[in-house]
């Protein structure tokens, strides 16, 4: 694969969080055909960026999410086939300590998926083992130089760390294509506090927003305690949903006025902010709803309303523990 090939990124992608998390909690092959339909529908409607990670699926199911994504791509033969971008995130496991280990990880992902278009560092180890991070970043750069991937990206990096890594890659004449952060109306910290969007714009990096619906809270379906998920996530919802009440009311009002769903408004807000949202979709209904979030745009007044409602929340979504400054 030549690194001179252009990496095509749409205005919206599809994250495989739903597939990955499902694989962690029990794999059910009966869903494969349904997920293939989801993939087909997305691509045929211009959603061609698909993001996963080599850590999605453990034990006997190690790498299963990547295997499924590769299978779906191979079996698709419709429009936009040539525009599909297969992205994966390579984990900074404690046993990956050298550039060669990162190259090996990228090759393993490519074997499972058929190819890797965009290889990303899943998280930074700067906060607990900075020496390891530089070794793995060298390996990520090697993947690009060896023509094994079309582009490289990062995930969960803040402005200060991003600039250091950018300089390191610039010294090797390697562009950083993308940066993923947890970004939604309930998680504006990377942009409002760290200024990551301005930095990305300055450095020519595309910002990807993962979890743009904040675990589904921004869909509006969690109306009371009886609807909350079980376990630790349920505890988070008990705090976050009441805290977000005014924001959810604002979302609902704009959605009704626009004849859209709350999910579509929340995703469109990300697009209006210049980010590429990657909402998960594990069935046709969710995919259809996500797809309908593009090809229209909130006006400036609506975006400002949502910004005010989001800014008024005292305790928004907790940040990823690996997010750097």
Residue 180 β-bridge partners:
155, 208
Percent of the chain predicted with pLDDT > 90:
81
Q: Other CB atoms closer than 10 Å to residue 237's CB: what's the count?
A: 19
Average pLDDT over residues 198-223: 96
Catalytic residue from among 56, 183, 189, 228: 56
Which CATH number covers residue 73? 3.20.20.100
What pTM, to 2 d.p., does this model score? 0.93
- 128 as an active site residue: the answer is no
Q: What is the pLDDT of residue 61?
A: 67
Per residue in 254-270, pLDDT tens? Answer: 999 999 999 999 999 99
Per residue in 267-285, pLDDT tens? Answer: 999 999 999 999 998 899 9
308 in a domain, yes or no?
no
**Model confidence at 30, in pLDDT bands (50, 70, 90)?**
low
Encoded tokens for 253 = 């009002």
170 in a domain, yes or no?
yes
Domain interval for residue 102: 13-215+270-296
Q: What is the pLDDT of residue 321?
A: 87
Q: How many domains does the chain have?
A: 1
**Model confidence at 59, in pLDDT bands (50, 70, 90)?**
low
DSSP conformation class of 187: B
Per residue in 132-160, pLDDT tens? Answer: 999 999 999 999 999 999 999 999 999 99
319 in a domain, yes or no?
no
Higher pLDDT, 2 or 192: 192
208 in a domain, yes or no?
yes
HSE at residue 266, side-chain half, CA atoms within 13 A, is 33
317 in a domain, yes or no?
no
Cα-based distances in Å from 149 to 119, 137, 139, 159:
7, 14, 12, 25
Q: Best-predicted range by mean pLDDT among 181-185, 227-231, 318-322?
A: 181-185
């Amino acid at each position: 694969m030549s690194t001179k090939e252009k990496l095509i990124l749409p205005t919206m992608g599809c994250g495989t969080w739903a597939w990955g998390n499902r694989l962690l909690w029990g794999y059910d092959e009966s869903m494969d055909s349904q997920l293939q339909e989801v993939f087909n529908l997305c691509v045929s409607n211009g959603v061609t960026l698909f993001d996963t990670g080599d850590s999605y699926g453990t034990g006997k199911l190690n790498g299963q999410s990547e295997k499924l994504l590769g299978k779906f791509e191979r079996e698709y033969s419709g429009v936009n086939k040539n525009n599909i971008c297969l992205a994966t995130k390579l984990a900074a496991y404690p046993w990956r300590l050298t550039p060669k280990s990162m190259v090996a990880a990228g090759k393993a992902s490519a074997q499972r998926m058929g190819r890797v278009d965009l290889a990303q560092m899943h998280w930074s180890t700067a906060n607990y083992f900075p020496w390891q991070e530089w070794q793995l970043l060298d390996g990520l750069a090697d993947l690009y130089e060896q023509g094994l991937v079309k582009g490289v990206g990062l995930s969960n990096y803040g402005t200060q760390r991003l600039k250091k890594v950018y300089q390191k890659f610039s010294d090797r004449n390697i562009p950083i294509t993308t940066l993923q952060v947890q970004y939604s109306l309930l998680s504006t910290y990377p942009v409002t506090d760290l200024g990551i969007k301005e930095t990305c714009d300055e450095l020519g990096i595309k910002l990807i927003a993962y979890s743009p619906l904040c675990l589904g809270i921004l869909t509006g379906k969690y109306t009371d305690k009886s609807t909350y998920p079980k376990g630790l996530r349920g505890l988070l919802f008990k705090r976050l949903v009441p805290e977000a009440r005014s924001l959810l009311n604002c979302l609902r009002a704009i959605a009704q006025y626009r004849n859209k769903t709350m999910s579509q408004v929340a995703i469109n807000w990300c697009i209006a902010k210049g980010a590429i949202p990657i909402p998960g979709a594990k069935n046709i209904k969710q995919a259809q709803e996500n797809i309908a979030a593009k090809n229209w745009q909130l006006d400036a007044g609506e975006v400002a309303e949502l910004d005010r409602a989001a800014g008024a929340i005292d305790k928004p979504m907790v940040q990823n523990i690996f997010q750097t400054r």
